[in-house]
Amino acid sequence: GKFYQHAPTETTQATLASVSPVFAVMKFDKEGNTTYFEKKKTELYQELGLQARDLRFQHVMSIATRNNRIIMRMEFLKAVITPEFLLILDYRNLSLEHWLLNELASQLAGEGQLVTYSLPFEFRAIEAILQYWISKLQGRLNTLQPQILETLEALVDPQLLSVDRSKLHILLQNGKSLSELETDVKVFKETILEILDEEEVIEELCLSKWTDPQIFEESTSGIDHAEEMELLLENYYRQAEDLLNEARELRVLIDDSESIIFINLDSHRNVMMRLNLQLTMGTFSVSLFGLIGVAFGMNLESSLEEDPRIFWLVTGIMFLGSGLIWRRLLSFLGRHLEPPLPPHVPAVLKKSQPAAGRVEIKTSLKGETFGLSRGTLTNQ
């Protein structure tokens, strides 16, 4: 009875071990030599001295240390760093393979432009991965920025009586892409900030401190490796902050341009409404004096129809009266819809204001055109 009770459990465990996921691994050593192999997850975390949850890579971003190993998750980029080698897991991605084969190997060997080429291997590996990720984010911004600026330049043209819907669709797609980029940059920045707030974690990232204490000594600049690790992370934190500021400025430009688009549309709508009102007034004037023609068109006899001059007299009165009434209505409309006059500036203030100040004010107003709100431009 006990045998049959435990047999399914042993069979299930054996089945799960046999179908465990297999990682496609690319291994880099200190000299930049590359090897490829495939290995099951169970075998890999046992060889690295890790646990199964340490290799449970989701599409998240984090940097952690486990058993003198650095585990870096950069969304689809999954890496395990040791003092002797770097493992890239599930590397079968076109853009990722290009970077791995053409840049990463030379950077780890000290042939690239890494600042940490004279430091232990884990410094070069961390900097290479952070540099790749920040350059990828910068490339996304460089792709979006000209597209957004070109679309906004076409949309905010005041000579356009209507807005091109295709341009609006492109702007909407670029706005969504910009929001995704802002989110990715924020997550990247927060990931680095979490490490900078923990001094113990920064020291744990210096793997050579625990494997070879002689390497973990003060550098030639008088800063120990823990401080250099902190400076390395702060450098990429500042780059992420600058990148986020550029994305925010682009977002503000989109919001301000949308306000200008709405103002232009309101202006054209007001012109059409004014024209419609003028035509309505003209129709009212003609209809009012057209009653005279209606009166003479009735089948009633009077002595006026016998005089040949009455037709031209009545017709002239109709056209003249309609024109006078329409003119009075237009003057009434102009008095009530014309913009208010600007406030009077005393002559004393005009003389006391220097010329340089006027130029500076004009320059500042010109630079802040996109920053005006709808209400301000409407009042102007």
Query: Which has more confidence, 349 or 232?
Result: 232
The set of residues, in sequence order, having a beta carbon less than 8 Å from that of 161 and lying 6+ positions away, is: 268
Adjacent-strand bridge partners of 70: 65, 81
Helix (H/G/I), strand (E/B), else coil: 160: coil
- Supply 203's token pair: 């020291």
Count of domains for the chain: 2
* 276 domain residue, yes or no: yes
- Mind listing the pLDDT tens digit for each residue in 282-333? 888 777 777 777 777 776 666 676 777 877 887 788 888 888 887 887 787 7
List the CATH number of the domain containing 26.
2.40.128.330
The pLDDT confidence band at residue 161, using thresholds 50, 70 and 90, is: low
- Mind listing the pLDDT tens digit for each residue in 197-210? 888 888 888 887 76
* 277 domain residue, yes or no: yes
The pLDDT confidence band at residue 349, using thresholds 50, 70 and 90, is: very low
Question: What range does the domain containing 328 cover?
Answer: 270-297+309-333
Q: Are the CB atoms for 114 and 173 separated by under 8 Å? A: no
Q: Are the CB atoms for 34 and 27 separated by under 8 Å? A: yes
Query: Which of 50, 84, 113 is the last residue in one of the domains?
Result: 113
- Mind listing the pLDDT tens digit for each residue in 53-90? 877 766 678 888 888 888 988 888 888 998 888 998 88
Helix (H/G/I), strand (E/B), else coil: 339: coil
* 52 domain residue, yes or no: yes
**Percent above pLDDT 90 for the chain:** 15
Q: Is 0.85 topped by the overall pTM?
A: no
* 108 domain residue, yes or no: yes
The pLDDT confidence band at residue 156, using thresholds 50, 70 and 90, is: confident
